Amino acid sequence: MAAPAETVVLADGIAAAIHAQAAAAAPRECCGLLEGAHDGQVFCVTALHPARNLAEGEGRFEIDPADHFAARRTARARGRGIIGCYHSHPGGQAAASVHDLAGAGEDGFLWLVAADDVLAAFVYRGGRFWPLATGADWVTSSG
């Protein structure tokens, strides 16, 4: 399977908001859902839906199903969808962990992982995480 030729665009303030939530939640992981649109080529993230992390202990996250449901409802009302999720790795790497892989299930779901000042993007497809291209210019205005 070839790596997906997909890219990610974040609306203004999205990356900063994730890093702020990560700092506030540390040493626990912050988590939430990504609202936006996916046209097959570009994941366009337009809003965040912070969620409660139900996981016990550090180094894990489990999005509260009630928050997940509410996020989907809100996104749908705006004509968008939930296209992915985000969480943080306090003091860790901006990469998907074995726990993340075990918890992934939705094919084509966008994953953003924040660690320190780095935000990395992956798409879950075919049972693994594929890194998505994220250059210095990937954080742009949604217009």
Kindly determine how many residues on this chain lie close enough to bind Zn ion according to the rule CB under 5 A: 2
By CB under 5 A, is residue 97 in contact with Zn ion? yes
**Minimum CB separation from Zn ion for residue 68, in Å?**
17
DSSP per-residue letters across 24-77? HHTTSPPEEEEEEEE-SSEEEEEEEEEE-B--SSSS---B-HHHHHHHHHHHHH
Measured from each CB, the residue nearest to Zn ion is 100
By CB under 5 A, is residue 7 in contact with Zn ion? no
CA-nearest of 55, 70, 42 to 100 is 55
Piece in contact with Zn ion (CB under 5 A), picked from 16-24, 39-47, 90-98, 101-109: 90-98
By CB under 5 A, is residue 100 in contact with Zn ion? yes
Point out which residues bind Zn ion (CB under 5 A). Answer: 97, 100
